[in-house]
Structure 1
């Protein structure tokens, strides 16, 4: 996460190729010919790389990735740490499709939590992209929090994830989730099984819905943060755009209102946001893969899409702090989960 050191420009290297040493290369002034405005812009860029605002000596900051199998409780824990809902949740596996970062500021440190898609055996192009997105974060953070559901037996899927986490350079913290749904004996058995997978730098048992050990989890991972700048402004909560939040919360309501194969086939794009004096006007399109799925989402007499819109609008009004007028369309895009261009269009590709 640290800014990389500057490297020599390609043209300078080309000039040096025929010289016996770099001493023979004509002195190069990288600022020659730049206007005052360009120099000011360069200085502003350098200041932004240094962080946001002055921090006291010993200030610590860093990034913490939440990883694990689908439905391990990653998004629920992120919301609990942040203090309000910014990541969507549902009982459906693979609910999280986008990496989302939420910033937690405390005296003396800044934590940036990174919510990742659940790591699983992919069945299509979308699944492969989600895996790549999650695995990419392992070596790009200071701490990896490996989440394991306290209520489900540890199996080959957990072992597969553990092998990837084990090879990461980051500090590793075992997080046993959903402790409120498990009895003490079950928790102890899960901890024992988790330690057979790999070694950890620390461990903690949590329940996000009961707010059990959430603050303790924050303090646990903060212990491993290096000294550093404030990476994000104190008033910035998440790096998700308004359009992304609209698309995600509409998709969440589809997941919660539909069953069977519908949820995995759904993608949402926010087409327009327009803030007027009194209301935020929003248009979003829900995409599915088959005509039958479109009919289910619209529902008899349009009842299903009406309820989806009402549910989504309530969350969006809470997030944006204003009245929202939400208009939804439903369209068919056959086979989009195996189409790299469509996956990128929805913003579900690993590079994003």
Structure 2
């Protein structure tokens, strides 16, 4: 496919080519990020077993002969948002569904919680079409229980289509993509066919460090931990030099992240660096520091500094 800049006259790659924005929305831990990665065929969004791993809106781009889908992975919409950061995540999630061509609500097979209901209520207020994706169907051994579950759900909830998928196993994704494409407007592509996101390498580097924190310290690590990239530059020798700060709220948390003799921090850095090198396709020199800032997750100025915006 040609670069979209080649279509200066507004013409399309072909007369039926479609392009639009699709929000992947759902409560925390239903598999939105796994679904995004599977749909674009690229490991873009970080994944961990911990709820609310996704803290930012992340655009994933998938281009095919039929069209270009701009998937927006959103923070999980959740109740009981007591801290400023939690409220910021909820605002980001609600903002993401307000200006898209299509919304995909993702739920877990066999479960429709109060948080799922709250999201559905928000979706009804929007004019965009909505699809329901029932994810993790591979974990449900008794398929017959899905029939009454869906029958009861659809008595009070309207969706244009329902799709059963396993994002982890790659099941049901082709049919879902086809359903999405046909509901997007006929439009020229907005990005080149080799682009997978609009996020910078700087942003992605911070996410890869944070992913390792969540994977390696899932039980010990507090929710109020984030990563800030202080330096990202390409050296003359072709190596990307990255300096990152891991922010925690208490000195005891700093000790947990560093580990005995610095072993934990070294393991986090080594794993994050390997992921960066695969994604950025060049050598990476990564330096990590751990710093304490009490109450940063309740400080609106610090949240803006760390990129938590609507």
TM-score range, shorter chain: over 0.9
1:285 aligns with 2:245: yes
Q: What residue in structure 2 maps to residue 315 of structure 1?
A: 275
Return closer, same or farther for 1:166/1:80 CA change in 2, 3 Å cut-off.
same
Report the 3-state secondary structure (helix = DSSP H, G, I; strand = E; otherwise coil) of the residue aligned with 2:223: helix
List alignment gaps of at least 5 residues for structure 1. Answer: 1-46
1:60-209 matches, cutoff 5 A:
60-121=18-79, 122-150=81-109, 153-183=111-141, 184-209=143-168
Q: What residue in structure 2 maps to residue 232 of structure 1?
A: 191
Tell me, yes or no, if the aligned pair for 1:92 and 1:263 is still in contact at 8 Å. Answer: no
Return closer, same or farther for 1:272/1:49 CA change in 2, 3 Å cut-off.
farther
Return closer, same or farther for 1:52/1:340 CA change in 2, 3 Å cut-off.
farther
Tell me, yes or no, if the aligned pair for 2:12 and 2:187 is still in contact at 8 Å. Answer: no
Q: What residue in structure 2 maps to residue 3 of structure 1?
A: none
Q: What residue in structure 1 maps to residue 180 of structure 2?
A: 221
Q: What residue in structure 2 maps to residue 249 of structure 1?
A: 208
Q: Measure the CA separation in 2 of the matches of 1:325 and 1:282.
A: 6
Q: What residue in structure 2 maps to residue 26 of structure 1?
A: none
Report the 3-state secondary structure (helix = DSSP H, G, I; strand = E; otherwise coil) of the residue aligned with 2:183: coil
Q: What residue in structure 2 maps to residue 58 of structure 1?
A: 16
Q: What residue in structure 1 maps to residue 231 of structure 2?
A: 272
Q: Which runs of 4+ in 1 moved over 6 A?
A: 47-53
Return closer, same or farther for 1:74/1:220 CA change in 2, 3 Å cut-off.
same
Q: Shift in Å at residue 132 of structure 1? A: 0.7
Q: What residue in structure 1 maps to residue 306 of structure 2?
A: 346
Q: Measure the CA separation in 2 of the matches of 1:317 and 1:165.
A: 39
Tell me, yes or no, if the aligned pair for 1:150 and 1:187 is still in contact at 8 Å. Answer: yes
Report the 3-state secondary structure (helix = DSSP H, G, I; strand = E; otherwise coil) of the residue aligned with 2:25: strand
Q: Measure the CA separation in 2 of the matches of 1:319 and 1:58.
A: 33
Q: Measure the CA separation in 2 of the matches of 1:124 and 1:48.
A: 47
Matched pairs, number: 303
TM-score computed with the length of structure 2 as normaliser: 0.93
Report the 3-state secondary structure (helix = DSSP H, G, I; strand = E; otherwise coil) of the residue aligned with 1:256: helix
Q: Shift in Å at residue 58 of structure 1? A: 2.4
Q: CA RMSD in A?
A: 1.9
TM-score computed with the length of structure 1 as normaliser: 0.82
State the Cα deviation string for residues 73-98 of structure 1 (Å, max 9, x = none): 11000000111201101111110011
Tell me, yes or no, if the aligned pair for 1:75 and 1:89 is still in contact at 8 Å. Answer: yes
Tell me, yes or no, if the aligned pair for 1:179 and 1:187 is still in contact at 8 Å. Answer: no
Q: What residue in structure 2 maps to residue 329 of structure 1?
A: 289
Q: Shift in Å at residue 158 of structure 1? A: 1.2
Report the 3-state secondary structure (helix = DSSP H, G, I; strand = E; otherwise coil) of the residue aligned with 2:157: coil
Tell me, yes or no, if the aligned pair for 2:220 and 2:256 is still in contact at 8 Å. Answer: no
Report the 3-state secondary structure (helix = DSSP H, G, I; strand = E; otherwise coil) of the residue aligned with 1:292: helix
